[in-house]
Amino acid sequence: MKYLLQFFTLTLAITSCTLRPVEVTQINDLRFVQVSDKGVELEVDVTVDNPNNGKIKIRHSVLNGKLDGKNLGTLTLSDGFVLAKNQSSNVTMKVIAKPDNFTVFLPYLFGAEPSKLALDGFVKVRYKGIPAKVKFDIDDAF
């Protein structure tokens, strides 16, 4: 009986830590902050749905980006953020783009409005103290 109770307790503990997929449902806005020796700093406002019963801390990401079909190169998250449990949240992701060719950004730096952003890759998260990697994939017009 003692072992059965321990088994059920262990099973409950393991299954309660299961990370359900976090979904980026919409890209709301994109802003160019500055160009520096690190790359092009961007702020991307996204709506994120967290269906989990705990908050999720997002610390690091490596994403591939395309803006209006043009390759942005690798985007890395410069500031982490926290997603509240069981909620859809509007979050500003601060990323640094390191494009192969900076001419991709010239029309946007001089006032052209971007219309479509695609991001894909992996985001490192921490859920209930457990680190995990989550697939990040969105292709959205805004």
- pLDDT averaged over every residue in the chain: 83
pLDDT above 70 (res 16): no
At 115 the pLDDT is 84
Does domain 2-141 correspond to CATH entry 2.60.40? Answer: yes
Contact indicator for 138, 119 with CB cutoff of 8 Å: yes
At 11 the pLDDT is 62
**pTM for the full predicted model:** 0.76
Q: What is the mean pLDDT of residues 77-84?
A: 87
Q: What is the mean pLDDT of residues 39-48?
A: 88
What percent of the chain has a predicted confidence (pLDDT) above 90?
0
